[in-house]
Every structure is written in structure tokens, then in C-alpha cells.
A and B are shown apart, each in its own frame.
Chain A
Amino acid sequence: MEEPRIGVFVCHCGINIGGVVNVPEVVEYAKTLPNVAWAEGNLYTCSEAGLSSIKDAIKKNGLNRVVVASCTPRTHEPLFRSTCEEAGLNKYLFEMANIREQCSWVHSHEPEAATVKAEDIVRMAVARARWLEPQDEPEVDVADSAMVIGGGISGLMAAVSLASQGFKVHLVEKEPQLGGITRRLGKIYPTLEDSSDIIDPVIKAATSNENIRIYTSATLKDISGYVGNFKAALKRGTEEVKLDVGTIVLASGALNYEPPKGSFQYGVLDRVVTQLQLEEMLTQGKLAEPERVLMIQCVGSRTGEVWTYELSDMTQSFAARLLSKILGAKKEEGWPYCSKICCMNAIKNAIRIKEQWPKAHVDILFSDLRTYKEYEDFYRKARALEVKFIRYIREIPPEITEAPDKKLKVTAYDTLAGVETEFLCDLVALSTPLCPSKEDVMLARMLKVPLGPDGFFMEAHPKLRPVDCQSDGIFIAGTACGPKDIPESIISAKAAAARASILMANKKLKTEALTADVNTDLCIGCGLCEELCPYGAHKIENGKSKTIAALCRGCGVCAADCPRRAITMRHYSDRQILAQVEAMMAQ
């Protein structure tokens, strides 16, 4: 390594630093430090004048490292780094010493102590600067094609969005036909349009786009590689298809939960159906005019909820049932989350029934009615059509028994009336949640996309990156990461397409310089780094750890835990950090 020739620039920042810290003293002190070839004070180092001064000093004094002692690196580090680059220095040969936010601004009552601290901070920065090395930001190529897994509305919309921007798309669908769950819906809410009016044009747009190749009755068999360079293998019947793609959009959708047999008499009495099955019956004209239809919300969702009620006027038998239920509570079947769309779906089917048969009665047993946003109007419409909404207790599943004349008797507690009520109806529709499919587990493992606690695919960050997966280059659309209605699915699909298009449009991806570097001579292949890395950046191959730089984010967890100290973090090496530790105390 070349002999370090360090330039130190100490900023007054007007009076922000200069009013507390004795800047000229710090400059003189810096000159005494080994390897410091130049030191000066600036009024505002970040100003045009200050930046020119840095560039001049680098050139005139042959500086090969620069330390700026001023404000927090979180604001101006990129600016100073660019300045160094302009003067011919690699930007990673630059270090900042924070003597404002972490010194002058918090010790304004102790100027002498602040000055000593500033000198210490500069000494530590110089110590680190000695060990800095130039770093490269390696580039990987990004193939301009994407693979979309899933041919429902989300997958189709994502594919069309990407294809219209000129990217090649390979769409993989495991069923023989496209359309997903949207196909099975007769009508959509709140407009009550036919769902075919929504999905058919999208299917047509996808099948007629020459940039989209569609593989139906096909599943993903294997996948390897990393962002920009994924290698996928599809299985279609006996055929195997190999694809090279740059990005992946996961739009594998969700299932409609079916209660276990016997639960709510589902699978036992044929007049107990799920809301989706009722939907299909209405669309296919398989339902004769009913006298009364009863719908039960939150079946198999919101499990794990425990609410206590103060109930006056309970019937004795009901109180006994309540008590025994609480005491003998076995784990509820189903899912803990709220599936968001079931309230609207039930109301939609209720309205469909009332509009077709105005004399039919429809009762909806609900726990909380979640008709959010302007869907309130839809709720009001149902009430105007005399759909009855009864608040029941979700934790006490209504009892359903057969009654004469092919009727069903449903007993539930009406909390607002304060009595247990019996309903005699022709059909019971259970509103069940959208849930993850068991196949997701395999997909998750193949793609290295983790599943969240609710069983759906987990996003990289729920707020800031809601359509990204933790692994770069893979994006999620639609219900694969949680229940959504159609407009929300379309929005997430387009957002996922936007993210994928950014990667592919830029053709190359600059990856982090702050990456892990494994010394294979020391590595014993224990696999701890592979286990610890949240990004899958380490792989044990032939008994040694191999790093995929494109995936490494530079956290350094592997380096700190490696039992052989075989891993060096570029720009945050042990040597560099320890130099700061050692320099903490004045010699």
C-alpha cells in the first residue's frame, strides 16, 4: 500500500463550530499527526470556495487521503466524495470527522472540552484514513426480460405494463387457463359489473402482446442466479423450459379458505357454502329463489382474538355455552388476520340476491363491518335494500342444524338485541378469508423469499418497499403478499412492474462497494455466514464460502461472527475500525 499523505480540512461552519471549538488549534494539532501532509481551516468547507480549496490542496500536495472535520457525513459526505473524485481520488479514500452535531452543538458550554474532543475526533478519523483503500462499485448486467409467476389479474397487469415498455416477459401459469380468482367472481364490487368485463380485456391484452410469452399448465421447477441474471427451469407436462431473466414478479395469488369438514357443518350439509361458492352459484344460475339466506362473517379469520363482553339478559343456556367455550377453548381453525375484502364481498352477494329476488331475506352476521373508504355507500345501499346486519359474537360460532322442509336452523347471539336468535334459512354462506397456499412454501424456498408470520410472502419493508422482496430483483404483486381487492391488486402489480422496469431499463446495476470479502485460505466452510446472511450473499461451494457481491449489502454480521476471521468488510475492515479504537486516547 502506498504511503498515506492525508489532507485535513477543519470547518468553522461560520460560528456553528468556530464559535465553540478553537478551529485554528485543531488545525495545528492535525499537522502534528503522522501521515498528515496538509491541514487547513475553512469558513464553510461545503461552499464553492471550500471545495476548490480541497481540490487545489490535493493536487498541490500530492494528497492521497482526505479528512474533512465538519458536520455529519449524513448530509455532505456524497458532496465531498464527488469533490475528491473530481481531483482524481477514489471516493472511498475520503473520511469525515463529525465535530458539529456530535461536538460543538452539544458542548457549547464547554469550549475547552469541545476543542479537545474535536482534536480526538480528528485523530480518530486520520487513524482510519491511513487504512482506507480505493474501492470499486462493481457492475452486473441486467437482462431485459422478466418472468411473471402467476396469470391472474395481478400477473397479467404486471406483464402488460412491462411489455408495453418494450421488455420481454415470460408469464408462467399453473392452471390451463388464465384469470385466477377474478374469473370465478361473477360480479365485482362496488360497481356490480361482470368480472369478465374486467379480466377478459386484460387476458386479451396479454395474449396479443408479442413481447409476452405465456406458458400455461406450467410450474416453476428450479431457479438459480441473482438479480439481473436469474436462471429458471419450468416444467410443462413432460417438457422442460429454460429461461434466462433479469427480474421476477411473483404474482402467485391466494386461495379461498375452506373450513375443515364439520366446521359450521361445511362439507356435511350441502346448503352450507363459502361466499365464493355462492358467487359461482349465482353466476351460473344454480340457485333457486331462496326465502332467506344467512351469511356469517369472519369464518376462519381473526382467530386468536379474545374479546370479553358484558352481557346482560343472556339466556341461561347461552351463558353456559359461552363459559364452556371459553374454558374449553381449543385452538381456532383458520388465520389470525382480517382478510379485508369479505365484508364487501358478502354485501355484494347480498345485493345481488336482493336485486334478483326482492322478496328474499338476507341476514349478515358480522363482528366489525369493514366497509372502508367510499365503500360506506355500498353498505348504505344494502341497508336500503333491507339487508339485515346483525352483530354476533365471533368467538361463539353460530350453531347450524338441519330443520324440516330442507331448511337450516342457525342459532346466534344478537348482541344489539341482547338475545339469542334463531334463524330459519335456505342457505348459509360462510365468508372465509383469502389465504396462502401450501405451494407457497416451496416457492418461498426456491426464490429465497421469506414468508411472513401470516403465511403470505413478506415484503422487504412493509412501508418503504411494499412490492420488493428482500432478495434483489424479485418483486411481489397482488394477493401473494396479502388480501387485496381488484383495484389494489392492479396498483400493486403496476408498482411491481415499475420497480422491475427500473432495473431492466438501466441495463447495468452498480452494486455496493461495501461488501464482504472472504479469504478462502482461512475459510473452513463452516457455513455460519451462509446461515446468517439475510440476503443469501454467501454460499458454501466446494467447502469454501463464495460471496455473491451483487447480493451483499455490507452489514458486516458475517465478518463479526466468522470463527476464523476469514471475512473482511470492505471500507469497514477490522483494521480500520480498530485503528479508530486505538486512536481514541491521546498518546
Chain B
Amino acid sequence: MSEVESVPSAGGTAKAETPKFDPRILIFTCNWCSYAGADLAGTSRLEYPPNARIIRTMCSGRIDPVFVLEGLRDGADGVLVTGCHPGDCHYVKGNFRAEKRFHFLKMALKQLGVEEDRVRLAWISAGEGEKFSLLVKDMTEKVRELGPSPLKSSNIKST
């Protein structure tokens, strides 16, 4: 997964291995819509980068902000929360709750220096396989540009 680049260094042209940054993206999906959309991307054989890891819950309304924070701390460089389109929630309005919570989470994350594109919320229906694959592609590339997450425990110096 890493590419070897030759890096000219002072005093010679020694080859150094600088791995190209491969972000890890954590995706939360809901059982009824976005997980099914991800499945459809698979049934349709739509290729996307292998950087994402998916966790399934029954409803996007189940997603506690702590899950997102824990994800960032444990090594995710980006977190994507997905659920049903507004009005389509299998449990009536769980996704509205998720959106509200997410709004406050983003405000808190901003304070912590987490960039806008690192943590996102998206609505994916069970029929939107292509949208899912494009979203993963887009997220992966944007986070790749941003570099490793500032909240990664390995990046946080102990005090």
C-alpha cells in the first residue's frame, strides 16, 4: 500500500522510503439505507479506494458523537456518518436526530482543530450505489490531501 519515492537528501542521492499517506476512513452506515447503498455499489461492481472500514448500526440516530471521537483517536483520519434521506428514516426521525447531534459535534471538532472535510455527514439511499462509491472516493482523496488526523493518539504528545 505504500509507494517508494526516491528522496534526494543532502550529501547524496540515498533512496529513502517515504510512504505515500494512505488515510483510513471510518464509515458509519444505517441498516436500512446507507448500508444497502454500499451493498449496491458492490453488486454494481463500482470500484472505490480500499481505505474505508464500515460499521453498521440499525439507525444513524444511534451514532453517539463519542463513536466519532473514539474513531479519530483510534486511528481514523476521516469519519463519515451516513443514513437515510430526511423523511425516509425507517424509524421515522432518527436521521434528524443524527443531523442535530452532528451539527454540534462539528462545532466542537472545529475547536479541536479538526478540518471541515475530515468528518462528514451524508444521506445515501439503498438505491444510491454510485453515490456511495463516489462519496468514498471523494472523502479518501480529500482526507489524503489533509494528511493524518490531528487527533490520532499517536500524534498527540503526552503532557
Contact = CB atoms under 8 A, between A and B. Distances in A.
Given A534-B92, A555-B59, A581 B50 contact: no
A98 B48 CA distance: 16
A408 to B, nearest CB: 46
A102 B39 contact: yes
A572 to B, nearest CB: 6
A355 interface: no
B124 interface: no
Contacts of A584: 24, 26, 53, 71, 74-76
A577 B67 CA distance: 8
Interface stretch (B9-17, B93-101, B115-123): B93-101
Given A106-B45, A106-B133, A581-B26, A121 B70 contact: no
Given A572-B57, A581-B70, A585-B24, A105 B97 contact: no
B74 A555 contact: no
Contacts of B59: 555-557
Interface string A44-85: 000000000000000000000000000011100000000000
A514 B91 CA distance: 13
Contacts of B38: 101-102
B55 A580 contact: yes
A554 interface: yes
Given A557-B94, A561-B97, A124 B61 contact: no
Given A101-B38, A113-B1, A124-B55, A534 B91 contact: yes
A557 B74 contact: no
Interface string A551-587: 0011111011100000001001010011011101100
Interface in B5-32: 24, 26
Contacts of B97: 532, 557, 560-561
A409 interface: no
B41 interface: yes
Contacts of A585: 24, 74-76
Interface residues of B, number: 41
A76 to B, nearest CB: 12
B107 interface: no
Contacts of B62: 555-557, 559-560, 569, 572, 577
B53 A577 contact: no
A102 B61 CA distance: 22
Given A108-B47, A121-B53, A557-B91, A574 B64 contact: yes
A283 B64 CA distance: 64
A269 B50 CA distance: 76
Most buried by B among A109, A554, A556, A561: A556
Interface in B40-83: 41-43, 45-48, 50, 53-59, 61-64, 66-67, 70-71, 74-76
B32 to A, nearest CB: 10
Given A534-B92, A584-B26, A101 B43 contact: yes
A120 interface: yes
Contacts of B66: 574, 578
B42 A100 contact: yes
A107 interface: yes
A98 to B, nearest CB: 7
A554 to B, nearest CB: 6
Contact of A102 (B42, B71, B74, B76): B42
Contacts of A572: 57-58, 62
A116 B67 contact: no
A577 B55 contact: yes
Contacts of A102: 38-39, 42, 54
A479 interface: no
B55 A561 contact: no
Contact of B55 (A112, A116, A581): A581
B36 interface: yes
B145 to A, nearest CB: 20
A117 interface: yes
A430 interface: no
Given A561-B97, A581-B70, A124 B53 contact: yes
29 contacts: A74-B39, A98-B54, A102-B39, A102-B54, A105-B42, A106-B41, A107-B50, A108-B47, A114-B50, A116-B1, A470-B92, A534-B91, A534-B93, A555-B58, A555-B61, A555-B94, A556-B57, A556-B59, A557-B62, A557-B91, A557-B94, A560-B63, A572-B62, A574-B64, A577-B62, A577-B67, A578-B66, A581-B70, A584-B24
Interface of A: 72-74, 98, 100-103, 105-110, 112-114, 116-117, 120-121, 124, 470, 514, 532, 534, 553-557, 559-561, 569, 572, 574, 577-578, 580-582, 584-585
